[in-house]
Structure 1
Amino acid sequence: MAIDTGAIGTELPPQSLTIDRGRLRFFAKAIGENDPVYTEVDAAKAAGYQDLPAPPTFLFSVELENPDPFVFLSSLGVDLRFVLHGEQSFTYHQIAYAGDELVARPRIVDIYSKKGGALEFVVKETAITRTDGTPIADLRSVIVVQNPGVTA
């Protein structure tokens, strides 16, 4: 079943997250980041940061705070068993720090297919801001959906 391109432009529900130091330390450990700037406040301040900075890919996790972060795909009729992570990119405006209250505002910006509909692509962009509206980063992700009933 083809994904309805009428969903292009759909704004998804915003997601909020307050970044705490423990979460940043855990994330740094999970990705194998050994620089103490990401785990020790004194090291971060000595390096000129106001607090622990969020590691570069941490912002992807803001949307995962939703109890069902992929509900938007289900609402498009996508069978999650056939979903692949296609690509991900970040455009940074400012550093996010421990203590920041962030808001993620995702939007579906494109839906297209390749290989005669055997593969469909959902492109989502997410603006991450502080609660006061200060831009932090723009995220872009491409989700690939395999349609097993379609042969190219």
Structure 2
Amino acid sequence: MTVNPELAGRRFRLPEPYLVGREHVRDFARTVLATNPIHFDVAAAQAAGYLDIVAPATYGAVLQDRAMQLMLQDELVDFELKQIVHGDERFSFERQIVAGDELTAELEITGVRALGANSMITAATTFTDAAGNTVVTGTATLVVGAPQGADS
């Protein structure tokens, strides 16, 4: 089984903006073992030139996951989250995500390729702020394995 190639080009946009909260940034920073004070202390972040506390670099994965959940509900998708393994993930920043940002995320499937019984999906997620400016672009390569018991 391979992923339907017609999935390429499909876009999945979060239905409403996501408000980045201070406590969520702090919790995320603790979870990923970030220790820089700009992730926890408003004064430290402002002294470093930011408006508010700064989300760690991988924070975009929070919204990327929400967009991926939308993708998994698409009529062309015939696989489950448990079949997906991240092959690669990268974030390209125009600026850092900070507490108070209202972000919209749109995931676009940029490619689908068969790999024997498996498939590889490439996706780009663009995060924009309330003014419509791109903040971060995340690119991911997902390997979709065949369901258990499927012939190779």
Unaligned residue ranges in structure 1 (runs of 5+): none
Q: Distance in 1 between matches of 2:151 and 2:129?
A: 43
Aligned to 1:33: 34
Deviation track 1:73-106 (CA, whole Å, cap 9, x = no partner) reads 3531013332212210111111221111000011
**Gaps spanning 5+ residues in structure 2: where?**
none
Q: 8 Å contact 1:8–1:111 — kept in the other structure?
A: yes
Query: SS of 2:12's equivalent?
Result: coil
Alignment of 1:127-142 (within 5 A): 127-142=126-141
Kindly report structure 1 stretches of 4+ aligned residues shifted beyond 6 Å: none
- The count of corresponding residues between Structure 1 and Structure 2 is 147
2:61 aligned with 1:60: yes
Q: TM-score, normalised by structure 2?
A: 0.87
Quote the residue 1:126 is aligned against: 125
Match of 1:96 in 2: 97
The structural deviation recorded for 1:53 is 1.2
Q: Partners of 2:125 and 2:82 in 1: how far apart?
A: 24
Q: What SS does the aligned partner of 2:52 have?
A: coil
Q: Secondary structure at the match of 1:64?
A: helix
Deviation at 1:63, TM superposition (A): 3.4
TM-score under structure 1 normalisation? 0.87
> For 1:32 and 1:131, how far apart are their aligned partners in 2?
29
The match for 1:3 is: 3
RMSD: 1.7
Question: 1:120 and 1:150 mapped to 2: Cα distance?
Answer: 14
Q: C-alpha deviations, 1:36-94, integer Å up to 9, x for none?
A: 1110111111222221111111011123346xx43423531013332212210111111
Residue 124 of structure 1 aligns with an amino acid whose one-letter code is A
